[in-house]
Amino acid sequence: MKITVPHFDNSELIEGYAMTLIGRCMNPPMQDMKMLLYMLPRILKVEDKVAGMDLGRGRFQFDFESEEDIKEVMKM
Protein backbone atom coordinates (compact mmCIF):
# COMPACT_ATOMS: atom_id res chain seq x y z
CA MET A 1 0.00 0.00 0.00
CA LYS A 2 1.38 3.38 -0.98
CA ILE A 3 0.45 6.49 0.95
CA THR A 4 0.84 9.87 -0.71
CA VAL A 5 1.12 12.95 1.45
CA PRO A 6 0.34 16.26 -0.21
CA HIS A 7 3.12 18.84 -0.23
CA PHE A 8 2.75 21.54 2.39
CA ASP A 9 4.92 24.32 3.77
CA ASN A 10 6.42 22.92 6.96
CA SER A 11 8.86 25.76 7.60
CA GLU A 12 6.80 26.97 10.58
CA LEU A 13 6.91 23.47 12.11
CA ILE A 14 10.66 23.28 11.61
CA GLU A 15 11.12 26.70 13.21
CA GLY A 16 9.02 25.61 16.19
CA TYR A 17 11.39 22.72 16.90
CA ALA A 18 14.62 24.61 16.19
CA MET A 19 15.68 24.49 19.86
CA THR A 20 14.59 20.92 20.56
CA LEU A 21 16.90 17.98 21.15
CA ILE A 22 15.49 14.45 20.86
CA GLY A 23 17.40 11.39 22.01
CA ARG A 24 17.00 7.84 23.20
CA CYS A 25 18.35 5.61 25.93
CA MET A 26 20.64 2.89 24.69
CA ASN A 27 19.40 0.42 27.33
CA PRO A 28 15.90 1.54 28.45
CA PRO A 29 15.18 -1.42 30.79
CA MET A 30 18.24 -0.51 32.86
CA GLN A 31 17.93 3.30 32.75
CA ASP A 32 15.38 5.26 34.75
CA MET A 33 13.92 7.87 32.40
CA LYS A 34 12.76 10.12 35.26
CA MET A 35 16.29 10.16 36.65
CA LEU A 36 17.75 10.86 33.19
CA LEU A 37 15.39 13.81 32.72
CA TYR A 38 16.38 15.10 36.15
CA MET A 39 20.15 14.53 36.00
CA LEU A 40 21.16 15.19 32.38
CA PRO A 41 20.39 18.94 32.46
CA ARG A 42 22.40 19.20 35.69
CA ILE A 43 25.35 17.34 34.19
CA LEU A 44 25.21 19.63 31.15
CA LYS A 45 24.81 22.71 33.41
CA VAL A 46 21.55 23.85 31.78
CA GLU A 47 19.09 22.80 34.50
CA ASP A 48 17.33 26.19 34.62
CA LYS A 49 17.34 26.63 30.83
CA VAL A 50 15.72 23.46 29.52
CA ALA A 51 12.51 21.45 29.89
CA GLY A 52 12.68 17.68 29.47
CA MET A 53 9.95 15.18 28.73
CA ASP A 54 9.58 11.44 28.30
CA LEU A 55 8.38 10.56 24.78
CA GLY A 56 7.94 6.87 25.61
CA ARG A 57 9.73 3.78 24.28
CA GLY A 58 13.06 4.98 25.69
CA ARG A 59 12.97 8.34 23.92
CA PHE A 60 13.22 11.80 25.45
CA GLN A 61 13.01 15.43 24.38
CA PHE A 62 14.63 18.57 25.74
CA ASP A 63 13.32 22.01 24.79
CA PHE A 64 15.91 24.75 25.25
CA GLU A 65 15.17 28.39 26.01
CA SER A 66 17.98 29.81 23.87
CA GLU A 67 19.89 28.89 20.75
CA GLU A 68 23.15 29.55 22.59
CA ASP A 69 22.35 26.84 25.16
CA ILE A 70 21.49 24.13 22.63
CA LYS A 71 24.60 24.96 20.58
CA GLU A 72 26.76 24.68 23.69
CA VAL A 73 25.26 21.29 24.56
CA MET A 74 25.74 20.04 21.00
CA LYS A 75 29.46 20.88 21.21
CA MET A 76 29.93 18.48 24.16
The pLDDT tens digits along the chain (76 residues) read 899 989 999 999 999 999 999 999 998 889 999 999 999 999 999 999 999 999 999 999 999 999 999 999 999 8
Nearest CA among 54, 16, 10, 63 for reference residue 35 = 54
Domain residue extents for the chain = 19-75
What dihedral do alpha carbons 43, 44, 46, 52 form, nearest 10°? -80
Query: For the whole model, what pTM was predicted?
Result: 0.80
Q: How many CB atoms lie within 10 A of CB 37?
A: 17
Position 5 scores a pLDDT of 87
